[in-house]
């Protein structure tokens, strides 16, 4: 049986604020700054969440080991973007939720050595939370902040603790 955790209205509001470092600017500006950050931090893994962010990073030579996409931008369908990956995993994750499948597929994707694209049937936004909790320390999780730029979350015990509290505050529907 699949257990689902649902986003509550207060958490939805909380998640509108960046979970990490907000880098403002155009895609060119944000990717230049991200490239400098990657060189400086030498992350253990780079995970991108979102079609535009994943494509922008790939086009500029910043190669995420895990790319999470849903073939949508601002909830509107788009043609699948071209991303080089050694393997592609698929999962279902309805809007505003986290499923057991999301956790298991993300664990699998992050265990891989090869570049992995995770294609989400549903919505990928909340997989940022799963990525932070599943990624090794010193990884970078990068996602888009609409109309502002990108957000870079450095995975540390502190950020994992903050994200764990958010996930634990999500609704776990009762079994019927």
pLDDT tens column, 129-156: 999 999 999 999 999 999 999 999 999 9
Cβ 13 vs Cβ 96: under 8 Å: no
Q: Which of 118, 122, 137, 142 is nearest to 67 (CA)?
A: 118
Of the pLDDT bands very low, low, confident and very high (cuts 50, 70, 90), residue 1 is: very low
pTM of the model: 0.95
The number of beta carbons lying within 10 Å of the beta carbon of residue 93 is 25
The tens digit of pLDDT for each residue in 78-104 reads 988 888 899 999 999 999 999 999 999
Where exactly are the structural domains of the chain? 7-169
Is the separation of the CB atoms in 150 and 23 below 8 Å? Answer: yes
């Amino acid at each position: 049986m699949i257990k689902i955790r649902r986003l509550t209205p207060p958490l939805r509001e909380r998640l509108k604020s960046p979970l990490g470092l907000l880098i403002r600017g155009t895609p060119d500006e944000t990717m230049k700054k991200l490239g400098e950050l990657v060189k400086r931090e030498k992350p253990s893994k780079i995970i991108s969440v979102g079609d535009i962010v994943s494509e922008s990073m790939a086009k500029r030579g910043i190669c995420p080991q895990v790319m999470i996409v849903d073939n949508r931008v601002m909830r509107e369908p788009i043609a699948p973007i071209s991303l080089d990956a050694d393997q592609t995993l698929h999962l279902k994750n309805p809007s505003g939720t986290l499923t057991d499948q999301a956790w298991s597929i993300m664990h699998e994707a992050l265990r891989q050595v090869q570049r992995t694209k995770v294609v989400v049937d549903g919505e990928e936004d909340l997989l940022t939370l799963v990525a932070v909790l599943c990624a090794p320390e010193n990884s970078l999780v990068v996602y888009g902040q609409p109309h502002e730029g990108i957000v870079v979350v450095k995975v540390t015990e502190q950020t994992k603790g903050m994200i764990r509290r958010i996930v634990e505050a999500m609704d776990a529907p009762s079994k019927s």
